[in-house]
Amino acid sequence: MPPMPKPRPLLGTSLELLNAANGVQPLGRKGYVTLPTFAFGWPTTELAPLYLTGSVLDTVRRALRGHFTSRSGRVALALKAVTWALLVLIQRRNVKSEPYFEAGLREALGEDYAKIAAESQPARRHGGVFKTGWSRRRYVEKKGTVRYGPHRANTADIWRRSDLPRDGRAPVLLQVPGGAWAIGMRRPQAYPLLSHMTERGWICVSMGYRISPRHTWPAHIIDVKRALAWIRENIADYGGDPDFVAITGGSAGGHLTALAALTPNDPQWQPGFADADTSVRAAVPVYGRYDWFSAKGEGRPQFIAFLQKFVVKKPYLGNRRDYLEASPITRLRPDAPPFFVLHGQDDSIIPVPEGREFVEELRKVSTSPVAYSEIPHAQHAFDFYGSPRGHYTAEAIERFLSWVHAQRD
């Protein structure tokens, strides 16, 4: 029988420490290293308690086997303690991030906006019972997937409370998934948000769309427009109000959200349904891309190369107009709907200056409120899990949209 391998606790513990350090502060912000930086840092920054629990249990197991009796073992144990301290710091930051979501809303909407939003909640108006919890779909009436367009990817899930009146004319939120225009999986993206909005009396439509590289731009935005057209025509059958439709999405979904909100009824992206009303009452892009044309800056050359090869499939040189037209920051307009933009300061995929620039330029042009919340220490996709930040994101978006809905009343 071959001898058991010699335990090497220092190697595994060093990797744990490196991962925790990357969660505290991204270790790479330039070039392709941002991808593994995000891949490892994203779950760590949002699920630190799980990492901490796993590490402690593993340490106990190893200690019982005598892995920490040697000199290197004792060093490994000390590194474990540092790792645990970093994970506690990460979770503490997460829990204490709520004021940053709130600050951007108060600045743009006024100190009493939350009271106005609470009074406008559809569930309150309809006498519904408020439920607590996150991503608990048993509160949502189970519906079959609907088809909003002719393509295989043109499917969507309808989220609604089972006690919602069929004639209630509940406000509607369209959720556009992210995934670099190449994934587009609507499940399980934005579940904390969809659950929270539905419990508050909204109807949510979680859509899928055609993705690259199989499909080429502008198929993605055409599908978003087609989904909006379907909602206008059909959502009343589910108890929704076709005259109040808002839109949200993160990352690539944030780009599509902003672009759809800034190009209502644009026939260029409504082939075969040019007469459909695709305007929205409010837009909430989260850590989105708003610039498809700038070639300078952190990660910009790699991003343009990705678009050229997989999404637009046209060289930037000679086709610059296509990239400009696809950039929300070039489509700003005075009659833009109210916007609530969110971005994480430690975003490794889409650096936070892109969100700041978009908000700054939109505020110069739009006559509607433009709220902006920048979240310290938050990575890309900080709202995906049922973490404190995921909860705070859902609550902040609901308050913003309910405030907008109150203005309509």
Q: Establish whether 251 is a catalytic residue.
A: yes
Q: Residue 67: pLDDT band by 50, 70, 90 thresholds?
A: confident
Within 8 A by CB and 6+ apart from 391, the residues are 134, 192, 196
Residue 157 known to be catalytic: no
Query: Closest Cα to residue 393, out of 139, 191, 113?
Result: 191
Report pLDDT digits (tens) over 18-63: 999 999 999 877 766 788 888 888 899 999 999 999 999 989 998 8
- Residues 6 or more apart whose Cβ sits within 8 Å of residue 142: none
- CATH architecture of the domain with range 98-408: 3-Layer(aba) Sandwich (3.40)
Sheet with 155-159, side-by-side order of all strands: 146-147, 155-159, 203-207, 170-176, 240-250, 282-286, 339-344, 370-375
The DSSP string of 7-48 is P-HHHHHHHHHHHHHHHHS-S--SGGGHHHHHHHHHHHHH-H
Per-residue pLDDT for 1 more than 70? no
The predicted-structure confidence for 303-336, as pLDDT tens digits, reads as follows: 999 999 999 999 999 999 999 999 999 999 999 9
Catalytic residue among 55, 251, 327, 387: 251
> Is residue 291 annotated as part of the catalytic site, yes or no?
no
Place of tokens 């989260």: 286
- Which one is catalytic: 380, 391, 402, 405? 380
Domain ranges of the chain: 9-94, 98-408
| pLDDT, tens only, 270-312 | 999 999 999 999 999 999 999 999 988 888 999 999 999 999 9
Query: What is the rounded distance in angstroms from the CA atom of residue 77 to the CA atom of residue 71?
Result: 10
Q: Would you place residue 164 in the very low, low, confident or very high pLDDT band (cuts 50, 70, 90)? A: confident
- For the chain, the residue count is 409
Residue 168: the pLDDT is 82
**Mean local confidence (pLDDT), 220-247:** 97
The rounded Cα 41 to chain-centroid distance in angstroms is 16
